[in-house]
Amino acid sequence: MDKIPLCRAALGDEERQAVLEVLASGWLTDGPKTRQLEQDLADYLGVGHAVAMNSCTSALFLALKANDIRGEVLLPSFTFVASANAVATAGATPVFVDIDRRDGNLDPALLEAALTPRTEALMVVHYAGQCCRMDQVRDFVERHGLLLIEDSAETLGGTYEGRPSGSWGVGCFSFFPTKNITTGEGGMLTTNDERLARRVRTLVGHGIPKTTQERSQMPGWFRAAEEPGYNFRLSNLLAAIGVEQMKKLEGLNQARRDNAARLIEGLKGLEGLGLPRENPGCRHVYQMFTITVPGGRRDQLVEHLRAQGIEASVHFDPPVHLHPAYAGQAHAPLPQTEWLSKHILTLPMYPHMGAPALERIIEAIGGFWGHA
Protein backbone atom coordinates (compact mmCIF):
# COMPACT_ATOMS: atom_id res chain seq x y z
CA MET A 1 0.00 0.00 0.00
CA ASP A 2 1.40 3.39 -1.00
CA LYS A 3 2.05 5.86 1.78
CA ILE A 4 0.11 9.09 1.95
CA PRO A 5 2.75 11.69 2.82
CA LEU A 6 2.08 14.51 5.24
CA CYS A 7 2.78 16.93 2.41
CA ARG A 8 4.01 16.93 -1.16
CA ALA A 9 5.12 19.94 -3.18
CA ALA A 10 3.14 20.54 -6.38
CA LEU A 11 5.95 20.82 -8.92
CA GLY A 12 5.65 20.30 -12.65
CA ASP A 13 7.28 20.78 -16.04
CA GLU A 14 7.10 24.57 -15.71
CA GLU A 15 9.38 24.57 -12.68
CA ARG A 16 11.78 22.10 -14.29
CA GLN A 17 12.04 24.20 -17.44
CA ALA A 18 12.57 27.39 -15.41
CA VAL A 19 15.45 25.77 -13.53
CA LEU A 20 17.05 24.56 -16.76
CA GLU A 21 16.83 28.05 -18.24
CA VAL A 22 18.59 29.55 -15.22
CA LEU A 23 21.28 26.86 -15.36
CA ALA A 24 21.83 27.64 -19.03
CA SER A 25 22.07 31.37 -18.27
CA GLY A 26 24.98 30.84 -15.90
CA TRP A 27 23.54 33.33 -13.38
CA LEU A 28 22.84 31.19 -10.33
CA THR A 29 23.00 33.60 -7.40
CA ASP A 30 20.65 36.50 -6.56
CA GLY A 31 19.47 37.76 -9.93
CA PRO A 32 16.64 38.55 -12.37
CA LYS A 33 14.32 35.75 -11.20
CA THR A 34 14.82 36.87 -7.61
CA ARG A 35 13.66 40.37 -8.56
CA GLN A 36 10.72 38.95 -10.52
CA LEU A 37 9.57 36.81 -7.58
CA GLU A 38 9.74 39.85 -5.32
CA GLN A 39 7.63 41.91 -7.69
CA ASP A 40 5.13 39.10 -8.23
CA LEU A 41 4.54 38.69 -4.50
CA ALA A 42 4.36 42.44 -3.86
CA ASP A 43 1.75 42.77 -6.63
CA TYR A 44 -0.22 39.80 -5.31
CA LEU A 45 -0.39 41.25 -1.80
CA GLY A 46 -0.82 44.86 -2.90
CA VAL A 47 2.22 46.06 -0.94
CA GLY A 48 4.98 48.45 -1.94
CA HIS A 49 8.04 46.28 -1.35
CA ALA A 50 9.09 42.63 -1.12
CA VAL A 51 12.60 41.42 -0.33
CA ALA A 52 13.49 37.78 -1.04
CA MET A 53 15.79 35.84 1.25
CA ASN A 54 16.78 32.34 2.26
CA SER A 55 14.04 31.65 4.84
CA CYS A 56 11.09 33.01 6.76
CA THR A 57 13.27 32.84 9.88
CA SER A 58 15.65 35.33 8.29
CA ALA A 59 12.70 37.56 7.40
CA LEU A 60 11.42 37.51 10.99
CA PHE A 61 14.91 38.22 12.31
CA LEU A 62 15.43 41.15 9.92
CA ALA A 63 11.97 42.56 10.62
CA LEU A 64 13.17 43.02 14.19
CA LYS A 65 16.82 43.85 13.51
CA ALA A 66 16.12 46.44 10.84
CA ASN A 67 13.61 48.16 13.14
CA ASP A 68 16.10 48.16 16.06
CA ILE A 69 13.74 46.20 18.32
CA ARG A 70 15.51 45.42 21.61
CA GLY A 71 12.65 45.30 24.11
CA GLU A 72 9.79 42.85 24.53
CA VAL A 73 7.96 41.21 21.63
CA LEU A 74 4.52 39.69 22.19
CA LEU A 75 3.91 36.43 20.32
CA PRO A 76 2.20 33.07 20.78
CA SER A 77 4.01 30.05 22.19
CA PHE A 78 1.87 27.81 19.97
CA THR A 79 4.15 28.08 16.93
CA PHE A 80 7.30 26.62 15.43
CA VAL A 81 10.32 27.61 17.50
CA ALA A 82 11.68 29.77 14.65
CA SER A 83 9.27 32.56 15.62
CA ALA A 84 10.74 32.86 19.11
CA ASN A 85 14.28 32.18 17.92
CA ALA A 86 14.10 35.20 15.63
CA VAL A 87 13.13 37.38 18.59
CA ALA A 88 15.87 36.05 20.86
CA THR A 89 18.66 36.12 18.28
CA ALA A 90 17.75 39.69 17.30
CA GLY A 91 18.44 40.70 20.89
CA ALA A 92 14.83 41.16 22.00
CA THR A 93 12.77 39.33 24.63
CA PRO A 94 9.88 37.01 23.70
CA VAL A 95 6.74 37.42 25.82
CA PHE A 96 4.30 34.58 25.18
CA VAL A 97 0.56 35.26 24.89
CA ASP A 98 -2.12 32.57 25.00
CA ILE A 99 -4.25 31.54 22.04
CA ASP A 100 -7.84 30.84 21.14
CA ARG A 101 -7.78 27.05 21.02
CA ARG A 102 -10.60 26.97 18.47
CA ASP A 103 -8.27 28.15 15.70
CA GLY A 104 -4.74 28.09 17.18
CA ASN A 105 -4.25 31.82 16.70
CA LEU A 106 -3.18 34.37 19.29
CA ASP A 107 -6.13 35.72 21.30
CA PRO A 108 -6.22 39.53 20.87
CA ALA A 109 -8.30 39.88 24.05
CA LEU A 110 -5.21 38.91 26.07
CA LEU A 111 -2.81 41.46 24.61
CA GLU A 112 -3.51 44.33 26.99
CA ALA A 113 -2.64 42.18 30.00
CA ALA A 114 0.70 41.22 28.43
CA LEU A 115 1.70 44.83 27.66
CA THR A 116 4.51 46.45 29.68
CA PRO A 117 6.56 49.64 29.29
CA ARG A 118 9.21 47.51 27.52
CA THR A 119 6.85 46.18 24.82
CA GLU A 120 8.03 47.28 21.37
CA ALA A 121 6.44 44.84 18.91
CA LEU A 122 3.72 42.27 18.37
CA MET A 123 4.36 39.19 16.22
CA VAL A 124 1.20 37.36 15.20
CA VAL A 125 1.55 33.86 13.78
CA HIS A 126 -1.25 33.01 11.35
CA TYR A 127 -1.82 29.34 12.15
CA ALA A 128 -2.24 26.55 9.58
CA GLY A 129 -3.59 28.80 6.82
CA GLN A 130 -5.99 31.11 8.68
CA CYS A 131 -5.40 34.72 9.70
CA CYS A 132 -5.57 36.02 13.24
CA ARG A 133 -8.34 38.53 14.05
CA MET A 134 -6.47 41.38 12.45
CA ASP A 135 -8.96 44.18 13.09
CA GLN A 136 -8.41 43.77 16.84
CA VAL A 137 -4.67 43.29 16.37
CA ARG A 138 -4.37 46.44 14.27
CA ASP A 139 -6.30 48.50 16.81
CA PHE A 140 -4.02 47.28 19.60
CA VAL A 141 -0.73 48.10 17.86
CA GLU A 142 -2.00 51.50 16.70
CA ARG A 143 -3.15 52.45 20.21
CA HIS A 144 0.22 51.57 21.69
CA GLY A 145 2.57 52.55 18.87
CA LEU A 146 3.96 49.04 18.38
CA LEU A 147 5.60 47.41 15.39
CA LEU A 148 3.36 44.72 13.85
CA ILE A 149 5.08 41.66 12.39
CA GLU A 150 3.09 38.93 10.67
CA ASP A 151 4.59 35.45 10.67
CA SER A 152 2.71 34.37 7.56
CA ALA A 153 4.77 31.26 6.90
CA GLU A 154 1.62 29.12 6.85
CA THR A 155 -0.86 31.53 5.28
CA LEU A 156 0.16 32.77 1.83
CA GLY A 157 -3.13 33.55 0.12
CA GLY A 158 -5.17 33.63 3.32
CA THR A 159 -7.20 36.80 3.92
CA TYR A 160 -9.00 38.60 6.71
CA GLU A 161 -11.84 40.90 5.65
CA GLY A 162 -10.54 40.62 2.10
CA ARG A 163 -7.05 41.82 3.00
CA PRO A 164 -4.16 39.35 2.50
CA SER A 165 -1.99 37.97 5.24
CA GLY A 166 1.32 39.81 5.20
CA SER A 167 -0.16 43.15 4.12
CA TRP A 168 -1.25 44.42 7.56
CA GLY A 169 2.24 44.87 9.00
CA VAL A 170 5.70 43.58 8.14
CA GLY A 171 4.91 40.29 6.40
CA CYS A 172 7.24 37.28 6.64
CA PHE A 173 6.69 34.28 4.36
CA SER A 174 8.17 30.81 3.98
CA PHE A 175 8.74 28.88 0.75
CA PHE A 176 9.67 25.61 2.48
CA PRO A 177 8.33 22.50 0.66
CA THR A 178 5.43 22.11 3.12
CA LYS A 179 4.09 25.62 2.44
CA ASN A 180 1.48 26.91 -0.01
CA ILE A 181 4.19 27.49 -2.62
CA THR A 182 7.82 26.42 -2.50
CA THR A 183 11.29 27.30 -3.70
CA GLY A 184 12.82 24.40 -1.73
CA GLU A 185 14.28 26.81 0.81
CA GLY A 186 13.39 30.48 0.79
CA GLY A 187 11.44 33.32 2.30
CA MET A 188 10.22 36.88 1.77
CA LEU A 189 9.72 40.06 3.78
CA THR A 190 6.96 42.44 2.67
CA THR A 191 6.32 46.03 3.71
CA ASN A 192 4.98 49.39 2.61
CA ASP A 193 7.88 51.15 4.34
CA GLU A 194 10.49 52.13 1.75
CA ARG A 195 13.13 52.90 4.39
CA LEU A 196 12.66 49.49 5.99
CA ALA A 197 12.78 47.69 2.64
CA ARG A 198 16.06 49.41 1.76
CA ARG A 199 17.68 48.53 5.07
CA VAL A 200 16.49 44.91 4.91
CA ARG A 201 17.84 44.56 1.38
CA THR A 202 21.17 45.95 2.58
CA LEU A 203 21.34 43.55 5.54
CA VAL A 204 20.45 40.55 3.35
CA GLY A 205 23.63 41.04 1.31
CA HIS A 206 26.47 41.67 3.78
CA GLY A 207 25.44 45.26 4.52
CA ILE A 208 26.10 46.31 0.91
CA PRO A 209 23.15 48.28 -0.50
CA LYS A 210 23.58 47.14 -4.12
CA THR A 211 22.48 43.61 -5.04
CA THR A 212 24.87 41.14 -6.68
CA GLN A 213 23.14 41.70 -10.01
CA GLU A 214 23.35 45.50 -9.69
CA ARG A 215 27.05 45.35 -8.81
CA SER A 216 27.73 43.20 -11.87
CA GLN A 217 26.46 46.05 -14.06
CA MET A 218 28.67 48.71 -12.41
CA PRO A 219 32.15 49.66 -13.63
CA GLY A 220 35.08 48.66 -11.45
CA TRP A 221 35.03 46.58 -8.30
CA PHE A 222 33.84 48.99 -5.60
CA ARG A 223 31.80 47.25 -2.86
CA ALA A 224 31.29 49.04 0.44
CA ALA A 225 29.17 47.90 3.38
CA GLU A 226 27.04 50.55 5.06
CA GLU A 227 26.69 48.39 8.20
CA PRO A 228 27.51 44.83 9.27
CA GLY A 229 25.17 42.49 7.45
CA TYR A 230 24.45 38.85 6.63
CA ASN A 231 24.33 36.48 3.70
CA PHE A 232 20.59 35.76 3.57
CA ARG A 233 20.19 35.94 -0.21
CA LEU A 234 17.80 33.82 -2.27
CA SER A 235 19.42 32.40 -5.41
CA ASN A 236 18.23 33.04 -8.94
CA LEU A 237 17.91 29.26 -9.31
CA LEU A 238 15.46 28.84 -6.42
CA ALA A 239 13.58 32.03 -7.26
CA ALA A 240 12.88 30.64 -10.74
CA ILE A 241 10.87 27.85 -9.09
CA GLY A 242 9.00 30.43 -7.02
CA VAL A 243 8.08 32.51 -10.07
CA GLU A 244 6.34 29.49 -11.61
CA GLN A 245 4.74 28.56 -8.29
CA MET A 246 3.25 32.05 -7.91
CA LYS A 247 1.42 31.56 -11.21
CA LYS A 248 -0.28 28.50 -9.69
CA LEU A 249 -0.90 29.84 -6.17
CA GLU A 250 -4.64 30.45 -6.45
CA GLY A 251 -5.25 27.06 -8.01
CA LEU A 252 -3.10 25.29 -5.41
CA ASN A 253 -4.92 27.04 -2.57
CA GLN A 254 -8.31 26.22 -4.02
CA ALA A 255 -7.30 22.56 -4.25
CA ARG A 256 -6.34 22.68 -0.56
CA ARG A 257 -9.72 24.20 0.28
CA ASP A 258 -11.52 21.51 -1.72
CA ASN A 259 -9.56 18.76 0.02
CA ALA A 260 -10.33 20.29 3.40
CA ALA A 261 -14.04 20.44 2.59
CA ARG A 262 -14.05 16.72 1.77
CA LEU A 263 -12.23 15.80 4.97
CA ILE A 264 -14.59 17.94 7.06
CA GLU A 265 -17.63 16.38 5.41
CA GLY A 266 -16.30 12.87 5.92
CA LEU A 267 -15.26 13.33 9.55
CA LYS A 268 -18.04 15.53 10.91
CA GLY A 269 -20.09 12.61 12.23
CA LEU A 270 -17.37 11.42 14.63
CA GLU A 271 -18.50 12.60 18.06
CA GLY A 272 -15.94 14.61 20.00
CA LEU A 273 -13.49 15.02 17.11
CA GLY A 274 -12.62 18.69 16.70
CA LEU A 275 -12.52 19.86 13.08
CA PRO A 276 -11.04 23.06 11.65
CA ARG A 277 -13.43 25.87 10.87
CA GLU A 278 -13.20 28.95 8.72
CA ASN A 279 -13.78 31.99 10.92
CA PRO A 280 -16.13 34.80 9.81
CA GLY A 281 -14.33 37.20 7.49
CA CYS A 282 -11.50 34.73 6.79
CA ARG A 283 -10.34 32.81 3.76
CA HIS A 284 -8.58 29.71 5.08
CA VAL A 285 -5.91 28.24 2.78
CA TYR A 286 -5.21 25.05 4.79
CA GLN A 287 -1.44 24.89 4.73
CA MET A 288 -2.13 22.27 7.38
CA PHE A 289 -5.30 20.36 8.19
CA THR A 290 -5.45 19.91 11.95
CA ILE A 291 -8.00 18.19 14.16
CA THR A 292 -8.30 17.83 17.94
CA VAL A 293 -8.66 14.41 19.52
CA PRO A 294 -10.37 14.04 22.92
CA GLY A 295 -9.85 11.60 25.75
CA GLY A 296 -6.06 11.32 25.65
CA ARG A 297 -6.27 9.33 22.40
CA ARG A 298 -4.26 11.68 20.18
CA ASP A 299 -0.99 9.74 20.28
CA GLN A 300 -2.80 6.45 19.67
CA LEU A 301 -4.53 7.88 16.61
CA VAL A 302 -1.23 9.16 15.22
CA GLU A 303 0.30 5.69 15.55
CA HIS A 304 -2.85 4.05 14.10
CA LEU A 305 -2.68 6.26 11.02
CA ARG A 306 1.05 5.76 10.54
CA ALA A 307 0.59 2.00 10.75
CA GLN A 308 -1.80 2.31 7.81
CA GLY A 309 0.67 4.34 5.75
CA ILE A 310 -0.88 7.73 6.54
CA GLU A 311 1.81 10.14 7.70
CA ALA A 312 0.03 12.03 10.47
CA SER A 313 2.00 14.35 12.76
CA VAL A 314 1.58 17.00 15.49
CA HIS A 315 1.98 20.80 15.24
CA PHE A 316 2.93 21.88 17.89
CA ASP A 317 3.86 19.77 20.89
CA PRO A 318 5.62 20.95 22.96
CA PRO A 319 4.78 24.63 22.61
CA VAL A 320 7.78 26.95 22.63
CA HIS A 321 7.60 27.97 26.29
CA LEU A 322 8.11 24.31 27.22
CA HIS A 323 11.23 23.88 25.06
CA PRO A 324 14.43 23.65 27.14
CA ALA A 325 15.76 26.80 25.49
CA TYR A 326 12.77 28.83 26.72
CA ALA A 327 11.97 27.03 29.98
CA GLY A 328 10.69 29.39 32.66
CA GLN A 329 10.13 32.27 30.24
CA ALA A 330 6.33 32.21 30.26
CA HIS A 331 5.24 35.42 32.02
CA ALA A 332 1.68 34.18 32.53
CA PRO A 333 -0.17 30.84 32.42
CA LEU A 334 -0.91 29.56 28.93
CA PRO A 335 -3.73 27.04 29.52
CA GLN A 336 -5.21 27.14 26.01
CA THR A 337 -1.80 26.68 24.41
CA GLU A 338 -1.01 23.71 26.62
CA TRP A 339 -4.44 22.12 26.07
CA LEU A 340 -4.21 22.42 22.30
CA SER A 341 -0.65 21.09 22.16
CA LYS A 342 -1.85 17.87 23.83
CA HIS A 343 -4.92 17.39 21.61
CA ILE A 344 -3.86 18.66 18.16
CA LEU A 345 -3.15 16.27 15.28
CA THR A 346 -2.05 17.16 11.75
CA LEU A 347 -3.40 15.13 8.84
CA PRO A 348 -1.88 14.99 5.34
CA MET A 349 -2.71 18.06 3.24
CA TYR A 350 -1.37 18.98 -0.18
CA PRO A 351 -3.05 20.12 -3.40
CA HIS A 352 -2.97 16.95 -5.51
CA MET A 353 -4.04 14.39 -2.91
CA GLY A 354 -6.81 12.83 -4.98
CA ALA A 355 -10.08 11.27 -3.84
CA PRO A 356 -8.63 7.82 -2.96
CA ALA A 357 -6.18 9.33 -0.45
CA LEU A 358 -8.86 11.49 1.13
CA GLU A 359 -11.21 8.52 1.48
CA ARG A 360 -8.46 6.39 2.99
CA ILE A 361 -7.84 9.02 5.69
CA ILE A 362 -11.56 9.31 6.46
CA GLU A 363 -11.99 5.53 6.65
CA ALA A 364 -8.88 5.06 8.83
CA ILE A 365 -10.03 7.64 11.36
CA GLY A 366 -13.58 6.28 11.30
CA GLY A 367 -12.24 2.77 11.95
CA PHE A 368 -10.19 3.97 14.89
CA TRP A 369 -13.17 5.86 16.30
CA GLY A 370 -15.36 2.78 16.04
CA HIS A 371 -12.96 0.64 18.07
CA ALA A 372 -11.52 3.21 20.50
User: Could you give the residue numbers annotated as active site?
Assistant: 179
Q: What b-and-e string marks burial along 122-138, b requiring 16 or more CB atoms within 10 Å of the CB?
A: bbbbbbbbbbbbbeebb
The 10 Å Cβ neighbour count of residue 352 is 12
Whether the CB-CB separation of 75 and 50 falls below 8 Å is answered with no
* C-alpha to C-alpha distance for 49 and 59, rounded to whole angstroms: 13
3-state DSSP helix/strand/coil percent for the chain, to nearest 5? Answer: 40, 15, 40
* C-alpha to C-alpha distance for 188 and 190, rounded to whole angstroms: 7
Whether the CB-CB separation of 175 and 184 falls below 8 Å is answered with yes
Which CA distances in Å does 30 have to 61, 181, 211, 213? 20, 19, 7, 7
HSE-CB for 286 with a 13 A CA cutoff: 30
The 10 Å Cβ neighbour count of residue 20 is 11
